[in-house]
Amino acid sequence: MSTDHAHHADRSLVVHSYWPYAVLLGGLVGVIRPALTIFADIGPTTGVLTTLPEMQLWWVLHIGYSAVFATGYGLIVYHHRLRPFSESIPMGAVLGLGYGVALWLGNIVIGWNLVLAPHLLSMSTPIDPLAAGPIVDHIVYGLGLGVVYAAVVPRLDTYRG
């Protein structure tokens, strides 16, 4: 019986959560970083993005993985304890900030520096985990995602289970 309930709960999260909206919003928020580089010449590209031959490919990849990471945010904040907070702009900003910090830890500190650069992409160089650029990039993304999600999702006419 408990297995059926667990299966139903997992299925409900995927079916009823707002992750599809988070994917779209994450892609839109993901445009911020490439736009700052292209239009305002603010900040260099880092990590694997420096190895790409053309800037258009960088745009596509950045927006794509911003959308993918937003899926995680959409699934996490759908939890019944976080949902009311994620739908409030101030608290959405706090949740987004936390998510941005978690992405920085996961992507830069662990993913890039401990896994990708030394083992899988040995021609690339590690990123200084305490450099301002990567920290600010991930925090801005998280804040943007949290605020945009809180501003848009509660206004959608969808299932509110």
Query: Cβ neighbours of residue 86 under 8 Å, at least 6 residues apart?
Result: 77, 78, 92, 95, 146, 149, 150, 153
Q: What is the pLDDT of residue 130?
A: 74
Q: What is the pLDDT of residue 137?
A: 82
Instruction: Going from the first residue of the chain to its last (161 residues), give the mean pLDDT of each consecutive group of 10, the final group possibly shorter.
Output: 46 64 84 74 57 65 85 87 90 94 85 68 67 80 92 72 49
Phi-psi region of 41 (alpha: psi -120 to 50; beta: other; left: phi over 0): left
DSSP character string of 79-134: STTTHHHHTSHHHHHHHHHHHHHHHHIIIIIIIIIIIIIIII-TTS----TT-HHH
**What pLDDT does residue 6 have?**
46
pLDDT computed for residue 118 by the predictor: 64
Q: How many whole angstroms from its chain centre is CA 118?
A: 24
The per-residue pLDDT for 5 is 43
User: What pLDDT is attached to residue 91?
Assistant: 95
DSSP code, position 122: T
Q: 43-54 as b/e, with b when 16 or more CB fall inside 10 Å?
A: eebbbebeeeee
